[in-house]
């Protein structure tokens, strides 16, 4: 999670939208909806209870930030699609030591591969740009090689990035990676294109709204249906920030790959229900997540990718009391006692 730090790219988009009185209605895509399963809490239910909740609530996809054999065991034969992450602190060794990547695969993937539906493995979360960024692509290559050596096919290896990788995002068609991120992102997305693997992107309209709530319409950030203004970019119309950020990332990828397409998966998005932040209320969080599900389940895609599904993972399953104080402790859909913070209709995504 981006931790509330808003990228310059999103800041520029806020300014542009604020001047144009941007507004929102999330258009829709026939994508899968999942939920991030964070574990930074000392009062959370057992993994078996959590996976039972996923099934009972019709949540068919889960993202794990790090490997946990107890959780993976609970996921056996569940039919739930799994995005499995590595620890950021393991990237350096994973990049430099192929045997470590092989050991990781033999510990966390091979024993579960027949019974757990792995969708992707992501090497690192939000480390680009930054000191560990140089380790990401070598780690991805070593993990991919380790999977092949283990006889495991069909699990793409990728990474998850924040929107801070974008240096330009307005208008969306001009999206481009920043000077700091481009030396890492260009070879990564070219590699992903060669493998037919997606890039995972964490997209948070909330932080954009909270940074300039006086000029960014709340409905634009919440995917409200009734808005009066929009932004036109090259003949297409944007009526919500989510679509605009996703399409700016599409444009950046296309520039970096010379036009090769790479699918984007929104690996995190959400809205806090408390914690004292601007707009952090139960009502707004419920509106955002339910509007998002209807959007992603609608089949229209984004203006740059009409009709193309957007696989999307909400952040997060629980309020986690070991995250930093403030809004970060209030992104959960459920309390640790498994009661709803607010109702989310996952049936709409089925």
CB 136 within 8 Å of CB 158? no
What is the per-residue burial (b if ≥16 Cβ within 10 Å, else e) of 12-26? bbbebbbeeebbbbb
Output 54-59 pairs: Cβ under 8 A, ≥24 positions apart.
54/78, 54/80, 54/317, 55/80, 57/344, 57/346, 58/346, 58/347, 58/349, 58/350, 59/33, 59/34, 59/35, 59/346
CB 289 within 8 Å of CB 282? no
Give strand pairing partners of 199.
264
| DSSP symbol at 174 | G
CB 1 within 8 Å of CB 206? no
Phi, psi of 20 (to 5 degrees): -100, 5
Q: Which of these is catalytic: 126, 263, 320, 328?
A: 126
Q: Is 268 a catalytic residue?
A: yes
In degrees, rounded to 5, the angle at the alpha carbon of residue 223 between the alpha carbons of residues 82 and 126 is 45
Q: Is 283 a catalytic residue?
A: no
The answer, yes or no, to whether the previous bond of 34 is cis (omega within 30 of 0) is no
Q: Which of these is catalytic: 131, 254, 263, 268?
A: 268
Tell me how far CA of residue 31 lies from CA of 218, 258, 300, in angstroms.
24, 26, 10
How many whole angstroms separate alpha carbon 308 and alpha carbon 241? Answer: 17
How many whole angstroms separate alpha carbon 258 and alpha carbon 211? Answer: 33
- Please give the torsion angle defined by the CA atoms of residues 212, 313, 58 and 336, in that order, rounded to the nearest 10 degrees: -70
End-to-end alpha carbon distance in the chain:
26
Q: Which helix (H) or strand (E) holds 294?
A: helix 282-296
Catalytically annotated residues: 126, 268
């Amino acid at each position: 999670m981006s931790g509330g730090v808003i990228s310059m790219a999103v800041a520029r988009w806020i300014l542009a939208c604020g001047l144009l009185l941007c507004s929102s209605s999330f258009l829709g895509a026939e994508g899968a909806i999942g939920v991030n399963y964070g574990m930074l809490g000392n009062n959370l239910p057992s993994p078996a209870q959590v996976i039972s909740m996923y099934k009972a609530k019709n949540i068919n996809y889960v993202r794990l930030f790090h490997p946990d054999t107890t959780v993976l065991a609970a996921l056996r034969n569940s039919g739930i699609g799994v995005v499995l992450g590595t620890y950021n602190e393991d990237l350096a060794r994973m990049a430099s030591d192929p045997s470590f990547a092989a050991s990781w695969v033999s510990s966390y993937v091979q024993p579960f591969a027949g019974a757990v539906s792995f969708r992707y493995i992501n090497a690192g979360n939000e480390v680009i740009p930054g000191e560990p960024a140089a380790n990401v692509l070598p780690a991805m290559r070593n993990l991919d090689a380790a999977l092949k050596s283990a006889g495991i096919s069909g699990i793409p290896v990728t990474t998850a990035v924040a929107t801070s990788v974008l240096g330009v995002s307005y208008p969306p068609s001009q999206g481009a990676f920043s000077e700091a991120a481009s030396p890492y992102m260009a070879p990564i997305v070219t590699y992903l294109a060669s493998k037919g693997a997606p890039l995972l992107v964490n997209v948070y309209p909330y932080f954009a709204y909270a940074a300039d709530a006086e000029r960014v319409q709340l409905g634009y950030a919440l995917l409200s249906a009734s808005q009066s203004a929009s932004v036109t970019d090259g003949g297409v119309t944007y009526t919500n920030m989510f679509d605009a950020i996703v399409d700016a990332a599409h444009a950046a990828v296309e520039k970096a790959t010379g036009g090769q397409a790479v699918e984007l998966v929104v690996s995190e998005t959400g809205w806090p229900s408390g914690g004292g932040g601007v707009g952090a209320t139960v009502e707004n969080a419920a509106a955002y997540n339910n509007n998002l599900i209807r959007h992603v389940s609608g089949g229209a895609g984004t203006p740059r990718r009409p009709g193309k599904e957007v696989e999307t993972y909400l952040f997060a399953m629980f309020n986690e009391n070991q995250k930093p104080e403030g809004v970060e402790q209030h992104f959960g859909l459920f309390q640790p006692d498994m009661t709803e913070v607010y109702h989310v209709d996952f049936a709409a995504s089925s």
